[in-house]
Amino acid sequence: MSPQTYRNIHRNTSLDTHGPAPVIRIGCAGWALPTAQAARFPADGSHLARYAQVFTSVEINTSFYRSHQPKTYARWAATVPDAFRFSVKMPKTISHELALRNAEVPLDRFVREVSALDQKLGCLLLQLPPSLEFERTAVQRFFALLRGLTAVRVVCEPRHATWFSEQAEETMTGFGVAFVHADPAPVRGAMPPSADGGPLYMRLHGSPRIYYSAYEASFLDALANRLVQAGNAAEAVWCIFDNTASGEAVPNALALRAKVAALIG
């Protein structure tokens, strides 16, 4: 699938919008519910069912470590409301072990598996290892392969400085692949391009201690304003809390959700 063909398809594929303004999707990496927050969710149902009554999205990270059968994805899709969307992380076999090269077989298998989510598949997440440099030919081949399999939204979290370049941005944009806006920033001083016209996908890993630290109220206040402003320009807005190691993702996501709701009115 060529970049232009992808853009034409994606322009007519509305996975998470209701009218002209996109939904601001706030969620967590996984749907575990810390005991301290359990009372803020419905009492009945599985953790996913309860989670999905409060949040509109979730990021599946377990797919990075192991594959899930299509029937598992289908069961998850059947558990959540129609408007709910999943983001699914690509396997480390593709991103880390093969470094995007010769990935035809595992990529085809992964896309077939996640397709069982049907219309509730909102995004595919590709996180790259810090050691992986941008090499244009290899990246073009990989994204062309990916776009031959799916027109679903794709976001990429590179962690090597060579990806934060005009050439890399042009390559990714050509295939409809957006940069992840991560905190902490993976490369000091390097900023991903603006999300104007495309999706804004934020991954908040926790700071100062990655995966553990909670975010302060002042940070969440500024973030809420940023998300609301982005909603006026971005094609979709996602904000995923990945500071799950000590249970901070859920309370941070709940707090941000309330702040955004107050701003929108």
CATH fold of 3-13+23-264 reads: TIM Barrel (3.20.20)
Torsion of CA 52, 57, 62, 68, to 10 degrees: 80
261 Cβ partners below 8 Å, 6+ apart? Answer: none
How far apart are alpha carbons 234 and 219 in whole angstroms?
21
CA atoms lying within 13 Å on the CB side of residue 174: 15
User: In 184-235, where do the E strands start and end?
Assistant: 199-204
97 HSE (CA, 13 A, CB side): 10
Give the tokens for residue 185.
Answer: 């920033």
Which one, of 21, 38, 36, 29, lies nearest residue 62 by Cα?
A: 29
Q: What is the pLDDT of residue 22?
A: 57
Q: How confident is the model at residue 13, as a pLDDT?
A: 27
pLDDT for the residue numbered 197: 60
pTM here is 0.91
Report the distance separating Cα 148 and Cα 108, nearest Å: 10
Q: In the chain, which stretches have pLDDT less than 70?
A: 1-22, 194-197
In the block, tokens 């042009």 appear at 170
Distance CA 221, CA 218 (A): 5
pLDDT of residue 212: 98
At residue 265, the pLDDT reads 77
pLDDT in the model for residue 121: 98
